[in-house]
Amino acid sequence: MENILSIKNLSVELRDRTLVKNISFNIDEGDVVLLSGANGMGKSTILKSILRLETEGKRISGEVINHSFGNILTLNATDLQRYRAGIAYIQQKDEYAEMGNIQVRDIISEIREAHAGRRLSYSEVNDLIDEWIPRRSDGSRVFDAKSKPAKFSGGEQRLLSVLSVIATRPQAELMIIDEPLNNLDFINARNISNLINKVVKENPKMAVLMISHCRIFPFITREIKLSSDGISEVAEPYVCHSCFGEPDENGFYIQ
Ligand SMILES: Nc1ncnc2c1ncn2[C@@H]1O[C@H](COP(=O)(O)OP(=O)(O)OP(=O)(O)O)[C@@H](O)[C@H]1O
Ligand SMILES: [Mg+2]
């Protein structure tokens, strides 16, 4: 399998503080990697460094090598944008609270438009929601194209963040997901697990790098653990799903 990303001796310093120290790991095509580690250890900082986001005030050293672009820490702005376009990124924080009258359709359309050049109609957005998120037991959608995310609960916001990236970017070569299950109840956590697994199964060459404190995902192929000693490969990652029911032989939970 071809290498997608190779992180070599990555360190991140902010003023006089070291956030990440000298870590190295590889991600190949088809890898579905869980990045584990305690709160505040530097996991999100690693993901942001891979994308070269939120770099103000930081000193980032080492190399983040992508097979097409080389070391992304030295890329110019145009190539950096092209590199990022191949990555579907779901950040840890949801940022919908200040969005006023903006609708779900605007958010999904905007991401889709940036990558496919076309806005979606209300009914297309509702079809997308129906394709990816099962309706509630009473037949209603968790949200629809006209819903306003500024008024969403924490879990609804998280669901929208994951949906808006995954459903609009299913062909990215690398998916980077920072804690997809925050605030989600069991049913929606299961839905998100299935939704990520669907993308993985439909795109066997895609690589996924995902942070999660919850070990529900049956389709993880590797776990790397970040500790104060650096990154280590976990020999036998375990899945813990007793609250969620049993997955089938393809790693999908039955709804
Ligand atoms: N921009 C910043 N300014 C100051 N401190 C920061 C900044 N970004 C990260 N940190 C600090 O760096 C450390 C690592 O943060 P990071 O968000 O990477 O942790 P994490 O492993 O993702 O934790 P969690 O599991 O809680 O999400 C934390 O102590 C955090 O306070
Ligand atoms: Mg984090």
Q: Cα angle at 121 between 116 and 125, to 5 degrees?
A: 80
Whole-number Å distance, alpha carbon 39 to ligand 1 midpoint, is 8
Q: Which segment, 28-37, 104-113, 232-241, is predicted with the most confidence on average?
A: 28-37
User: Do the beta carbons of residue 157 and residue 149 sit within 8 Å?
Assistant: yes
3-state secondary structure of 175: strand
User: What residues contact residue 115 under an 8 Å CB cut-off, 6+ apart?
Assistant: 85, 168, 169
* Nearest CA residue ID for atom 24, ligand 1: 39
> Is 188 a domain residue?
yes
Decide: 86 and 173 in contact? Cβ < 8 Å.
yes
Beta bridge partners of 27: 5
Number of domains forming the structure of the chain: 1
Distance 98 CA to ligand 2 centre (A): 22
Q: Which of 90, 93, 55, 57 is nearest to 72 (CA)?
A: 55
In a domain, 138, yes or no: no
144 in a structural domain: no
Q: Residue 187 is which amino acid?
A: I
Most informative mutation of 17, 20, 45 for ligand 1 (most atoms within 8 A of CB): 45
Q: Can you give the pLDDT at residue 70?
A: 97
- Is residue 183 domain-resident? yes
**Rounded mean pLDDT of 109-136?**
85
Question: Is a pLDDT exceeding 90 seen at residue 255?
Answer: no
- If DSSP codes are grouped into helix, strand and coil, which group holds residue 6? strand
The CA 181 to ligand 2 mean position distance, Å, reads 12
Nearest CA to ligand 1 atom 3: 14
220 in Cβ contact with 32 (< 8 Å): yes
Q: In what order do the strands lie in the sheet with 207-211?
A: 87-90, 174-178, 207-211, 32-36, 222-227, 230-234
Is residue 251 a contact partner of residue 218, using CB atoms and an 8 Å limit? yes
- Per-residue HEC secondary structure of 189-246 comes to HHHHHHHHHHHHHHCCCCEEEEECCCCCCCCCCEEEEEECCEEEEECCCCCCCCCCCC
CATH code (residue 183)? 3.40.50.300
> Is the pLDDT at 192 greater than 70, yes or no?
yes
Residue 150 in domain: no
Residue ranges around ligand 1 (CB below 6 Å) = 14, 19, 37, 39-45, 92
Ligand 1, atom nearest to 46 Cα? 18
Helix (H, G, I), strand (E, B) or coil at 137: coil
- pLDDT of residue 171 exceeding 90, the answer is no
**Mean pLDDT across the stretch 58-65?**
97
Looking at every residue in the chain, the average pLDDT score rounds to 92
Whether residue 186 is contained in a domain is answered as yes
| Closest ligand by atom to 21 CA | 1
Residue 74 lies in a domain: yes
Q: Which domain holds residue 30?
A: 3-96+173-234
Which residues, listed in sequence order, are joined to residue 32 by a DSSP beta bridge? 208
Ligand 1 atom 16: residue of nearest CA: 42
Residue nearest to atom 10 of ligand 1 (CA): 19
- Structure tokens belonging to residue 183: 């605030």
The model's confidence at residue 77, banded by pLDDT at 50, 70 and 90, is very high
**Which residues are found with C-beta within 5 Å of the ion, ligand 2?**
44, 92
pTM of the prediction? 0.93
CB atoms within 10 A of CB 233: 12
**Long-range contacts of range 134-138, CB-CB < 8 Å, 24 or more positions apart?**
134/191, 134/255
CA 43 – ligand 1 centroid, Å: 8
Distance CA 229, CA 140 (A): 48
Q: How far is the CA of 42 from the centre of ligand 2 (A)?
A: 7
Whether residue 77 lies inside any domain: the answer is yes
Token representation of residue 96: 């919908």
Closest atom of ligand 1 to CA, residue 54: 1
